[in-house]
Structure 1
């Protein structure tokens, strides 16, 4: 609902207290909320705070206030007071005017540019294995938050920091050297990221075997992990890479190119994209200048072994290493440098890091250090922390038998969508290519909606089968509702220009649908302010549910008169637009036919 009516109510309530009770009530003591479903009305004023000025019982105060408001606001049709709550019913003319002047307009829900630039960094994969289930939640959250913030008026940069160096990629490279026999994605028929991941698994298997052999000879486990010849060779390869060894660099570039090509295919299927890529191979040496700056400012201190630290105990944290004694970086070093680099590139007012909750402490430390260094832009940094995604045990097995990779899960979603859609007979009259597209958007819609409807911080259990339900709290239910509306509009030969007239009175389900549709900008705003797509996702479900109630209660094409028919078609078209636009911000496509 638009804020205009609420602002009017606050204004007149303040005026009423002044005139009726000769008192000045602060606006923050005037509480307006949605009327509970069991009572008549749409908006409720909480009367209890006003009784301290009226010196009268809540019900009497509510009735006096209601009469005062109704006399001055043409939008109020009636009121009732129950205990300490004044319930207000808005007139049908108010709702019709709200619909025709705002909700039915083409740019409804669009916010003007706010002049602020914001970066959303998400995905951040390692180049030694395919993207997995955790990456799916990360990518969908990052992409959707970016799209919602764009809709809210920000200029948004979608960034991806690729972890393309380090011991993990050297493990895959070494294993490929030993056992690859020149295998390539083309010769094997494997996606590049799956091929590189295969050699990472082979390395791990050989490493464990060597550790077990050393332990069998009496070497302690920790020492065995350090002494295993294959890990020492991988570490030597990393040193060669850092020294610029041409052969090692050439192999690194080749294998990374395979992985990037594989990632792009997965990103394409997920429907996510990026404006800017950062690579750890280019940023891992950054940050050392910032360490020196911190030493000069007295923010950091040096220990006898030459290592550099920051003492955060007064902030409820601990001492944190920011540079090793030999002058080499730790993760926080390069993160400090990369944060500065990103700001230098774009001067954004805000920057969101979409990273799992296992890194909560790391980001507390990172942001605090940047603030202590006097970085004015550090106040705009935010860690969008999210919980893990679990699958029901036994539902799916990955190629490696440990984590579920993204491609396998998407294949499973497509297969489940095909099966459920065909069982329900929702493909009649579609060509094979149209069916394939429908299965893709239903499968991906089910996956995305299931993961986005839950607040990011919560750990969740994802069941592929449960997510594809055309009647439940799911993406396919919302998609099916959109297709239903499009079918109604097609049968009614709907065109916006021909359906402009509006009735004088409304039915309850018409009024409720208009009210819910009018809340679309507020749903965008809530999701944008909390960096959470969940509010918008749940709003989409509420709209679909309310439309279906309206559809079953009110004849549309067989309405009693032409004006009612046309208005209901216009209302249906607005509902379809809101669903399509809101779902698009979640990265979810809605079908025209099902």
Structure 2
């Protein structure tokens, strides 16, 4: 039984003993900073079973708890709040127990696995800023779930078929003159993305010409030769035309190589890949089964629908009248296929923007109606758009913020700021570049992940690379500062031990913050929110910097104090590194 559980039981015992009443729940919360204490019992709910003055009742319960729990050294009552002071001995014993735990806060995997889908790009353009948020969220949630005790599979579905893919293919065929990534020196995804933009430009020119000839805008959009040619190319691809399929395979291979380079630079990975070209026909058999079971019904025109009106949603088409699938059909089939491929999967998380909220409500409900027990454990990790000070991004017009360019810009910005601060004396050029990348990527990732996923973000690159405040570089700098202390401790022969008798208030506050880490991991996993980890780490770093400013570490009065504070600093740095690892952020040894 942990301390909050023991404390809750002691309060229940107190109410039983003092008032001969049964208390079902005890409301506990951290004591406010402006009062003495560590944990606070809210007395007002107790008045339901124990009548009287809340301050007097608080005093009576406080006296009982102090007498019966050795972990409680003192208490005070402020109005209807019983503030309990936890004994230094409790924190010292706790610190001794966790000091040498390598993966403190992490739990071993057990139970059913969770599959986390993220990235899921189109193969007609490079990854952009929106993909960056998607990848960072999906990867971090997967890592947090692992730390919380789940087995996790990271996956994505690559949208490698459809009219948008044929647009890039057709533009390259018409205008490319045999260009390749090798001949141009461009990453393959960038080269293909350029042709997506070229298609749109040429398509608009054709539309303008047709409108000038007297066509309406809608007629011009449908009758422009390029779009008709692209539609014909898609039909040929679906029919297995050798020439079209060969072109598709070549250009997709360029894109995949480009994506992998971006993923490596971004620091994310995957355990498996699904391709829409393999999955777009999935789900039809499941629709037939659902028809037999009454989950779906067929209209007079032959189309198949699911009536979700009784569940507060609309009717949803799952097969067109010509028997072709819609996106919902293949999403149903893909989900079922994934469980067949990984029979230990008991749930899935889809990292997709909030514009798809309704789609996933429908998908999850249909899978439940089809009778899959794992459908109870499906979650849409919905997130808001990322905006820039310059406005919205448009892929067709080539105005997106390219992920690779953003990573390079962050590295450059970090370098410029670090040079201005003059923090890198004695570094070689190679060491500087590596550090700039660690700081720049840390700034980018932290700025995005510290915000609740559901919120829209206005991303400001320069603001993110600030060495003060709630930023990645500020936390990285604190980690590097601790490493400097640890190196000096080694040079001075200071042993790292947890032996100590009396805690300084700042030492106690730091241990209290460290103690919250396992609980924070579990909360972040339950809420699918890396923001909880990010902001916990910032609070820990603020607490350490307050400790650092008010308590001498290597200049402590006694060897025992010196060794303990070095050990405490070391544990703080380990928790920072662990928490940042869950966010996919590296920490530098020097800075």
TM-score normalised according to structure 2 size: 0.98
Name the SS of the counterpart of 2:111 in structure 1.
coil
**Residues 521-552 of structure 1: per-residue CA shift (max 9 Å, x gap):** 01111111111101001011111111111011
Question: After the TM superposition, which of the residue ranges 492-501 and 89-98 deviates more from structure 2?
Answer: 492-501
**Residues 290-346 of structure 1: per-residue CA shift (max 9 Å, x gap):** 111111112111122211111111111111111111111111111111111111111
2-structure distance, mates of 1:294, 1:138: 33
Cα displacement (A) at 1:135:
0.1
Judged with a 3 Å threshold, the aligned counterparts in structure 2 of structure 1 residues 187 and 164 are, in CA distance, closer, same or farther, namely same
Match of residue 507 from structure 1: 504
Give the conservation status (yes or no) of the 8 Å contact 1:496–1:570.
no
Give the conservation status (yes or no) of the 8 Å contact 2:279–2:334.
yes
Name the SS of the counterpart of 1:349 in structure 2.
strand
Question: After the TM superposition, which of the residue ranges 572-581 and 3-12 deviates more from structure 2?
Answer: 3-12
Gaps of at least 5 residues in structure 2 are: none
User: Is residue 2:481 matched to residue 1:484?
Assistant: yes
User: Is residue 2:98 matched to residue 1:121?
Assistant: no
Name the SS of the counterpart of 1:353 in structure 2.
strand
2:213 to 174, 192, 217: 217
**Residues 111-168 of structure 1: per-residue CA shift (max 9 Å, x gap):** 1222220100000000000001000000000100111111111111000100001111
**Residues 453-505 of structure 1: per-residue CA shift (max 9 Å, x gap):** 00100001110000011111100000000000000010111899932242211
User: Is residue 2:445 matched to residue 1:434?
Assistant: no
Match of residue 445 from structure 1: 442
Question: After the TM superposition, which of the residue ranges 396-405 and 309-318 deviates more from structure 2?
Answer: 396-405
Match of residue 568 from structure 1: 565
Cα displacement (A) at 1:411:
1.3
Give the conservation status (yes or no) of the 8 Å contact 1:18–1:24.
yes
Give the conservation status (yes or no) of the 8 Å contact 2:88–2:503.
yes
2:471 to 469, 474, 480: 474
Match of residue 11 from structure 1: 9
Give the conservation status (yes or no) of the 8 Å contact 2:196–2:396.
no
Q: How do 1:208-287 and structure 2 match up within 5 A?
A: 208-287=204-283
Give the conservation status (yes or no) of the 8 Å contact 1:354–1:384.
yes
User: Is residue 2:133 matched to residue 1:172?
Assistant: no
User: Is residue 2:387 matched to residue 1:390?
Assistant: yes
Give the conservation status (yes or no) of the 8 Å contact 1:104–1:570.
no
2-structure distance, mates of 1:304, 1:396: 43
Match of residue 531 from structure 1: 528
Give the conservation status (yes or no) of the 8 Å contact 2:44–2:54.
yes
User: Is residue 2:322 matched to residue 1:326?
Assistant: yes
1-structure distance, mates of 2:224, 2:172: 18
1-structure distance, mates of 2:63, 2:280: 69
Give the conservation status (yes or no) of the 8 Å contact 1:308–1:323.
yes
Judged with a 3 Å threshold, the aligned counterparts in structure 2 of structure 1 residues 394 and 281 are, in CA distance, closer, same or farther, namely closer
Cα displacement (A) at 1:397:
11
2-structure distance, mates of 1:16, 1:489: 46
Give the conservation status (yes or no) of the 8 Å contact 1:351–1:381.
yes
Name the SS of the counterpart of 1:289 in structure 2.
helix
2:202 to 206, 224, 227: 206
Match of residue 184 from structure 2: 188
Give the conservation status (yes or no) of the 8 Å contact 2:524–2:530.
yes
1-structure distance, mates of 2:324, 2:258: 32
Give the conservation status (yes or no) of the 8 Å contact 2:393–2:399.
no
Structure 1 runs, 4 residues or longer, greater than 3 Å off: 394-401, 494-498
2-structure distance, mates of 1:107, 1:192: 39
2:68 to 72, 83, 89: 72
Name the SS of the counterpart of 2:177 in structure 1.
coil
User: Is residue 2:531 matched to residue 1:556?
Assistant: no
Name the SS of the counterpart of 1:492 in structure 2.
helix
**Residues 393-433 of structure 1: per-residue CA shift (max 9 Å, x gap):** 27999995422111111111011001001111121111221
2:354 to 354, 357, 366: 357
Judged with a 3 Å threshold, the aligned counterparts in structure 2 of structure 1 residues 397 and 421 are, in CA distance, closer, same or farther, namely farther
User: Is residue 2:40 matched to residue 1:47?
Assistant: no
2-structure distance, mates of 1:303, 1:449: 51
1-structure distance, mates of 2:126, 2:491: 47
Give the conservation status (yes or no) of the 8 Å contact 2:281–2:330.
yes
Cα displacement (A) at 1:103:
4.6
Judged with a 3 Å threshold, the aligned counterparts in structure 2 of structure 1 residues 490 and 368 are, in CA distance, closer, same or farther, namely same
2-structure distance, mates of 1:449, 1:94: 34
Give the conservation status (yes or no) of the 8 Å contact 2:99–2:498.
no
Judged with a 3 Å threshold, the aligned counterparts in structure 2 of structure 1 residues 493 and 399 are, in CA distance, closer, same or farther, namely farther
Match of residue 415 from structure 1: 412
TM-score normalised according to structure 1 size: 0.97
1-structure distance, mates of 2:196, 2:394: 18
Give the conservation status (yes or no) of the 8 Å contact 1:494–1:569.
no
Give the conservation status (yes or no) of the 8 Å contact 2:498–2:567.
no
Give the conservation status (yes or no) of the 8 Å contact 2:200–2:397.
no
**Residues 360-396 of structure 1: per-residue CA shift (max 9 Å, x gap):** 0111111111111112221111110000001112799
Give the conservation status (yes or no) of the 8 Å contact 2:393–2:400.
no
Q: How do 1:97-116 and structure 2 match up within 5 A?
A: 97-116=93-112
Gaps of at least 5 residues in structure 1 are: none
**Residues 165-194 of structure 1: per-residue CA shift (max 9 Å, x gap):** 111110001000111000000001111000
Give the conservation status (yes or no) of the 8 Å contact 2:494–2:563.
no
Name the SS of the counterpart of 1:111 in structure 2.
coil
2-structure distance, mates of 1:104, 1:506: 19
2-structure distance, mates of 1:157, 1:403: 30
